[in-house]
Amino acid sequence: MTSETPITVTPKAAEKLKEFLKNEKKSHLRAFVQGGGCSGFSYGLKTEDGPESGDIVIESNGVKIVIDPISASYLNGSTIDYGDNLVGGGFTFQNPNAKGTCGCGSSFEPKLK
């Protein structure tokens, strides 16, 4: 199943993700949400060979992303970015569906619908 763009990847994040996927010898990035973290839900990224049944498949800046339908409802309209900082660097989510986030930005509290 292919969808328009529930999630986008910035050019800088795409560059890092393409390199990472190549090194891992995987073709897709899975973006997901799981319970946990200081604010209730946490973001996750992992590499995979391809989609599972029912997954939403998109491509953003040359990166193939798979998302399960439940995670997609929490991530719709989000952007994955990459930033360098004093402690290294990493991927961040900019999520319009988040009511609040924790200090480290790896977890969020969803807006009530």
Q: Which of 97, 29, 92 is nearest to 65 (CA)?
A: 29
pLDDT digits (tens, 9 = 90+) for 59-104: 999 999 999 999 998 899 999 999 877 666 788 888 887 776 655 5
With the CA atoms of 97, 91, 52 and 71 taken in that order, what torsion angle do they form, in degrees rounded to the nearest 10?
-20
Instruction: Give the gyration radius of the chain's Cα atoms.
Output: 14
CA 55 from chain center: how many Å?
Answer: 14
Q: What span, in angstroms and rounded, lies between the C-alpha atoms of 63 and 108?
A: 24
Which residues are paired to 43 by β-bridges?
33
Count of alpha carbons within 13 angstroms of residue 27, beta-carbon side? 5
This prediction's pTM = 0.79
pLDDT digits (tens, 9 = 90+) for 36-70: 656 578 888 999 999 999 999 999 999 999 999 99
Q: 101 by DSSP, 3-state: which?
A: strand
Class of domain 7-104: mainly beta
Amino acid, single-letter form, for residue 64:
K
- Sequence spans of domains, the chain: 7-104
